[in-house]
């Protein structure tokens, strides 16, 4: 499911709430949907950037990383993640 599909579903649910349909917790549900829509619309898109070798001496055994998030520079051993675990950016292929 894409962000656009989720946004469409959430907006439809808000329309139903606004048409005075009975809902379990109207105020909190509507606010949660609006927050989720805003977050989905503002989601960043990044790429895993290949680096020869990054070494983090603060981690045990000076762990080595080969990739870095183009948005927040978060180091990663692999580029298989669809999202950056640090900033949440959606990752596209290089």
Q: Where are the domains of the chain?
A: 3-41, 45-92
pLDDT at position 27, please? 67
Question: Which residues are bridge partners to 50 per DSSP?
Answer: 67
| Confidence category of residue 60, pLDDT binned at 50, 70, 90 | low
Quote the CA–CA distance of 86 and 51 in Å, as a whole number: 18
The answer to whether the beta carbons of residues 73 and 64 sit under 8 Å apart is no
What is the model's pTM?
A: 0.51
| Confidence category of residue 6, pLDDT binned at 50, 70, 90 | confident
| Confidence category of residue 69, pLDDT binned at 50, 70, 90 | very high
């Amino acid at each position: 499911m894409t962000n656009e599909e989720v946004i469409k579903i959430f907006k439809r649910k808000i329309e139903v709430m606004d048409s005075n349909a009975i809902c379990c917790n109207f105020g909190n549900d509507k606010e949660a949907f609006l927050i989720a829509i805003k977050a989905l619309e503002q989601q960043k898109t990044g790429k895993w950037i290949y680096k020869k070798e990054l070494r983090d001496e603060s981690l045990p055994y000076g762990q080595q990383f080969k990739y870095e998030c183009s948005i927040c520079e978060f180091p990663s051993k692999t580029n298989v993640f669809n999202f950056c675990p640090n900033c949440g950016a959606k990752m596209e292929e290089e």
